[in-house]
């Protein structure tokens, strides 16, 4: 009887997890077994199909798809693997191929190590073997996740390559350290954002100044993204995108934290990624050295949250998130009155607009009046900085001491307490040496106390220096004022750089018909700077306004 000719595909697969089992499942071992079997059984080998590093639960493997394409074209009518698990580890798909696809295409399948052969009829145990193989994949997935979670909690950072500003630590696995060659790019991005610039403007600055992109730097160092940058024009090196900048500005890596599990697979055998809610993220703090301080990072996030898309009249966005009702604390609602011949914009209390009288009042103020007043105050302080910077600095320092925020007061209280404790520890050292010299304390106890107080001294010094840096508000604010010189118009960048909030009080109309309204400006770092004579400002309205 004439034997059929089997044009055979030798299929080899190895997942990343299988590599821990050594040479018994290696690609080389599989190849030797399959080639020997084909030779002993007179099989004509058409090609080898190798998927190295691919999970058996995924049937979209590149060489598996290539093999199936060759089966469709009639080039292959026999598939040989070392065992069933090399073909796949998902029992539904295994049954689909073994019970439907291969019989329909007249394809013979052989699992050498398990002596399974469709020509001889598969054993009744094949479905159970497939179920076991799938269970094995599920169990391995669980063990890998547990191992990764343990690494994450031990402050290890598992990544293919370090993000911009960092590099892999050559002396410690799964650790990153600052990259002195690229950290300046991250610092530049955050500094620009800190002074009010949005992602679009930062992107434009980076491109104009020809700052290299993260992917280009990665290509230069490791050869990644060659398909993008090989033979690309010079401009491609500096082609920053808004999405890249936004990603950097939101990344907690730059304050020393690592966040895991932002995304996950739907199931261990379904590799589609889905976004997880923030409450399910794993945040590990202090995994590496920070490039950006927490204060700077928080300020950038706050500015990003307040920023609004620019509109055609370029009005609404510049005060977004800054103007608040002085009585209820709610943000002020922006609106435009178009009933008059000359439309005008104004702010009113959002809480009052929603609930009506009895809850709050309108705190109505026209946009042009608020604009003129805020601009005049900023111009005033900028002129003061130009004329006598030293005197203004003293005034700002006095103001910080007298009218600082609750957070600043808490920091000042903590600083005073720590400085007192530092003085006490210094005194304790003096008494300890005296007691040791007079043999009133044993050498063992002396050494133990010495180590304890020295450690406390170091912690006190670090914290005191940090608090002093955080409390240098006057210098910070004045540096920003000097940066803007004398402004001639208000922009969102200017307002967010200099002002923390603007409180609008309810207006009063005097007997003379003049409308007066208190507007308090709280400046960043230093709080309300205007003295008592300026805090209640008379704002005459050029047009008759409703109260």
The model's pLDDT over 335-383, given as tens digits with 9 standing for 90+, comes to 888 887 788 889 998 888 877 777 888 899 999 889 999 998 888 888 8
The predicted pLDDT at position 523 comes to 83
The predicted pLDDT at position 543 comes to 33
The answer to whether residues 497 and 196 touch, using CB atoms and an 8 Å cutoff, is yes
The predicted pLDDT at position 38 comes to 92
CATH of 166-306, one of 1.20.140, 3.40.50, 3.90.1750, 3.10.20: 3.90.1750
The predicted pLDDT at position 474 comes to 61
The predicted pLDDT at position 544 comes to 32
When mean pLDDT is compared across 253-267, 321-335, 439-453, the lowest value belongs to 253-267
Average predicted confidence (pLDDT) for the chain: 79
Of all residues in the chain, what percent carry a pLDDT higher than 70?
A: 79
Question: Please, which residues have CB within 8 angstroms of residue 308's CB and are 6 or more apart in sequence?
Answer: 316, 317, 320, 321
More confident residue, 260 or 88: 88
Structure tokens at 268: 């261990």
Cα dist from 525 to 107, 293, 371, 481, 499, whole Å: 76, 15, 22, 12, 9
The pTM (predicted TM-score) of the whole model is 0.48
The answer to whether residues 348 and 333 touch, using CB atoms and an 8 Å cutoff, is yes
Does residue 546 have a pLDDT over 50?
no
The answer to whether residues 13 and 54 touch, using CB atoms and an 8 Å cutoff, is yes
When mean pLDDT is compared across 58-72, 367-381, 404-418, the lowest value belongs to 404-418
More confident residue, 523 or 68: 68
Does residue 485 have a pLDDT over 80?
no
What is the rounded average pLDDT of the residues 216-240? 81
The predicted pLDDT at position 72 comes to 92
Q: What is the Cα–Cα distance from 63 to 51, expressed in whole angstroms?
A: 6
DSSP three-state, residue 347: strand
When mean pLDDT is compared across 89-93, 285-289, 315-319, the lowest value belongs to 315-319
The predicted pLDDT at position 112 comes to 92
Cα dist from 58 to 18, 74, 484, whole Å: 15, 24, 58
More confident residue, 163 or 76: 76
What is the rounded average pLDDT of the residues 33-38? 93
Question: Please, which residues have CB within 8 angstroms of residue 53's CB and are 6 or more apart in sequence?
Answer: 14, 15, 16
Q: What is the Cα–Cα distance from 50 to 27, expressed in whole angstroms?
A: 8
The predicted pLDDT at position 533 comes to 31
CATH topology of domain 7-139: Rossmann fold (3.40.50)
Confidence of residue 532 (pLDDT cuts 50, 70, 90): very low
Does residue 296 have a pLDDT over 80?
yes
The predicted pLDDT at position 545 comes to 31
The predicted pLDDT at position 412 comes to 65
CB atoms within 10 A of CB 419: 14
DSSP three-state, residue 215: helix
Domain ranges (residues) in the chain: 7-139, 166-306
What is the rounded average pLDDT of the residues 73-80? 93
Q: What is the pLDDT of residues 42-53, one digit of tens each?
A: 899 999 999 988
More confident residue, 449 or 86: 86
β-sheet bridge partners, residue 8 = 45, 78
Angle 465-256-154 from CA coordinates, rounded to 5°:
115
The predicted pLDDT at position 538 comes to 42
What is the rounded average pLDDT of the residues 132-158? 70
More confident residue, 98 or 387: 98
Closest CA to 469 of 415, 529, 543: 415
In terms of average pLDDT, the best of 120-124, 138-142, 301-305, 475-479 is 120-124
Does residue 537 have a pLDDT over 50?
no
The predicted pLDDT at position 227 comes to 74
């Amino acid at each position: 009887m004439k034997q059929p000719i089997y044009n055979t595909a030798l299929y080899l697969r190895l997942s990343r997890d299988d590599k821990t089992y050594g040479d018994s499942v290696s690609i080389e071992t599989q190849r030797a077994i399959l080639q020997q079997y084909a030779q002993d059984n007179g099989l004509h080998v058409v090609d080898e199909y190798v998927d190295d590093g691919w999970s058996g639960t995924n049937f979209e493997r590149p060489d598996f798809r290539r093999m199936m394409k060759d089966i469709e074209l009639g080039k292959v009518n026999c598939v040989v693997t070392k065992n069933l698990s090399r073909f796949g580890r998902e029992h539904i798909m295994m049954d689909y191929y073994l019970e439907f696809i291969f019989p329909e295409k007249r394809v013979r399948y052989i699992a050498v190590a398990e002596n399974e052969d469709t020509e001889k009829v598969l054993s009744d145990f094949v479905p159970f073997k497939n179920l076991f193989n799938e269970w094995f994949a599920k169990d391995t997935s669980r063990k890998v996740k547990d191992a990764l979670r343990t690494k994450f909690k031990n402050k290890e950072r598992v990544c293919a390559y370090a993000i911009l500003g960092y590099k892999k630590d050559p002396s410690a696995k799964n650790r990153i350290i600052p990259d002195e060659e690229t950290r300046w790019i991250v610092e530049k991005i955050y500094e620009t954002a800190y002074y009010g610039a949005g992602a679009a403007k930062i992107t434009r600055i980076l491109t104009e100044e020809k700052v290299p992109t993260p992917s280009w730097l990665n290509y230069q160092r490791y050869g990644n993204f060659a398909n993008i940058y090989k033979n690309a024009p010079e401009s491609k090196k500096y082609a920053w995108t808004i999405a890249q900048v936004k990603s950097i500005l939101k990344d907690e890596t730059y304050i020393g934290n690592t966040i895991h599990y932002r995304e996950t697979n739907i199931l261990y055998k379904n590799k589609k990624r889905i976004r997880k809610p923030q409450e399910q993220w794993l945040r590990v703090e202090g995994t590496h050295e920070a490039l950006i301080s927490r204060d700077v990072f928080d300020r950038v996030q706050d500015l990003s949250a307040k920023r609004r898309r620019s509109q055609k009249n370029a009005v609404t966005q510049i005060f977004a998130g800054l103007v608040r009702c002085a009585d209820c604390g709610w943000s002020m609602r922006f609106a435009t009155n178009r009933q008059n011949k000359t439309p005008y914009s104004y702010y009113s209390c959002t809480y009052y607009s929603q609930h009506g009288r009895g809850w709050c009042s309108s705190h109505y103020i026209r946009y042009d009046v608020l604009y003129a007043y805020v601009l005049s105050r900023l111009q005033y302080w900028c002129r003061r900085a130009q004329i006598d910077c030293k005197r203004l600095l003293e005034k700002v320092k006095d103001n910080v001491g007298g009218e600082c925020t609750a957070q600043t007061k808490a920091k000042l209280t903590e600083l005073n307490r720590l400085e007192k404790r530092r003085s006490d520890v210094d005194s304790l050292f003096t008494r300890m040496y005296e007691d040791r010299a007079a043999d009133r304390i044993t050498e063992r106890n002396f050494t133990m106390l010495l180590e304890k107080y020295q450690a406390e001294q170091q912690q006190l010094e670090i914290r005191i220096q940090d608090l002093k840096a955080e409390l240098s508000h006057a210098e910070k604010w004045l540096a920003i004022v000097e940066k803007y010189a004398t402004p001639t118009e208000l922009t969102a960048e200017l307002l967010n750089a200099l002002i923390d909030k603007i409180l609008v009080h309810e207006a009063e109309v005097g007997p003379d018909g003049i409308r007066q309204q208190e507007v308090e400006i709280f400046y960043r770092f230093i709080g309300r700077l205007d003295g008592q004579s300026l805090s209640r400002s008379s704002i005459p309205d050029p047009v008759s306004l409703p109260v």
